Amino acid sequence: MIDASFATIFGREAAVTAAAPGRVNLIGEHTDYNGGLVLPLALPLEVRVAIAPRPDATVRAWSANVPEDEARAELTLGAERRTGGWIDYVQAVTSTLAGDGHVMSGFDLAIASDVPLGSGLASSAALLVAVLRGLRSAFMLALTDREIATAAHRAETEFVGAPVGVMDQLVASLGREGTALLIDTRTLDVADVPMPSGVELAVIDSGLRHQHATGDYRVRRDECMRAAARLAVPYLCALGRRDLPRLATLPAPLSGRARHVVTEHLRVAEAAEAMRAGDVETLGRLWLASHASERDDFEVSLPAIDTLVDLAAADAAVLGARLTGGGFGGSVILLCRAGEAAEAAIRVQRAYQTKTGHAGRVLLPGETERQRR
């Protein structure tokens, strides 16, 4: 329990506890920073925090999810400076809150997470939202759930320096387990889309880590901005099906990047419609088309992840599968027939390990869910 860990680390009781979920994106990859639709789902995996205010400006933080010699960190309010370490996410929150005019003292903070780091399940957004929720309670800050999401997004993009869209923070703050959240990232309008009956989800961590603050994720975002500028539109998702021929006029790789974003935006709308209609076969086909687009046009997949998707798609219990998250590692989501997700995920994970040498790990259904079956 996070409050027990807090007492052990800091020698006193926590004043408040808070949590925020990781997410799996059902469909809509790299559309969030292109003004498009996304369809994420909050997971039962979460980041938990415990907080107790201090009378000074010092923040002492501890994380259960990093090596012991790196688990403790400290900062001073008003002197936040990016270090490249995990404490930057805490500094990002305190710096953002101060910039928005919120007043608070220092605090002690303990963090524990069962959202695997770098797995494509938005562990960083869950951390930011959990800390913001905890500070809202500890210092009675006037923050709505939507304001927590937008503050978390600014913290990650402006302080940490990760050029992510707003999807992860919105679902961490507004999402409910079992109901997908259809988000228009241009307007930030949201709508609930219940999961259809007859199916359940499985998530397999490929074991290949990624990091959004550096690397090719940033390159892909820049390529999208360049493609939009060449097409004279403010964002790629302003384009529709009738504009697809225009995309072929772009030089490579911009043509492929734009084609993925525009077609993925269209697939999200189709997927939400299929879910509402209970058309799980169509939903599965859309997932497979989404992964092919990520692989071929957006080039964010990896050979081992393509193998994992292919193995899943070949399983009789699986209707569709795709890479979820920003790519270059992370997790694959499986759309399974009801009652078959646990066994299908284990079969696929074992076949993946045999074929690639990467162990992988079944994240959903979790051990508790599997034991109930």
User: ω into residue 40 within 30 of 0, thus cis?
Assistant: no
Residue 168 appears among annotated catalytic residues = yes
On whether the CB atoms of residues 129 and 149 are closer than 8 A, the answer is: yes
- Residue 77, classed as helix, strand or coil, is coil
User: Residue 360, by phi and psi: left (phi above 0), alpha (psi -120 to 50) or beta?
Assistant: left
274: Cα separation from own chain's centroid: 23
Of 32, 108, 168, 205, the active-site residue reads: 168
Distance CA(295)–CA(229), nearest Å, equals 24
Q: Which two tokens stand for residue 42?
A: 């909050």
Distance CA(341)–CA(327), nearest Å, equals 23
In the chain, the amino acid numbered 37 is L
> Which string of DSSP letters, residue by residue, matches 79-122?
-----SSTHHHHHHHHHHHHHTT-----EEEEEEE-S-TTSSS-
Residue 132: name the closest of 177, 89, 84, 179 by CA: 89
> Which string of DSSP letters, residue by residue, matches 117-179?
TTSSS-HHHHHHHHHHHHHHHHHT----HHHHHHHHHHIIIIII-----SHHHHHHHH-BTTE
DSSP symbol at 323? E
Q: Residue 271's CB: how many other CB atoms inside 10 A?
A: 27
First to last CA, the chain: 26
Beta bridge partners of 176: 179
Q: Which two tokens stand for residue 270?
A: 């189709």
Q: Which residue has the tokens 């995309």?
A: 247
Q: Which are the catalytic amino acids?
A: 168
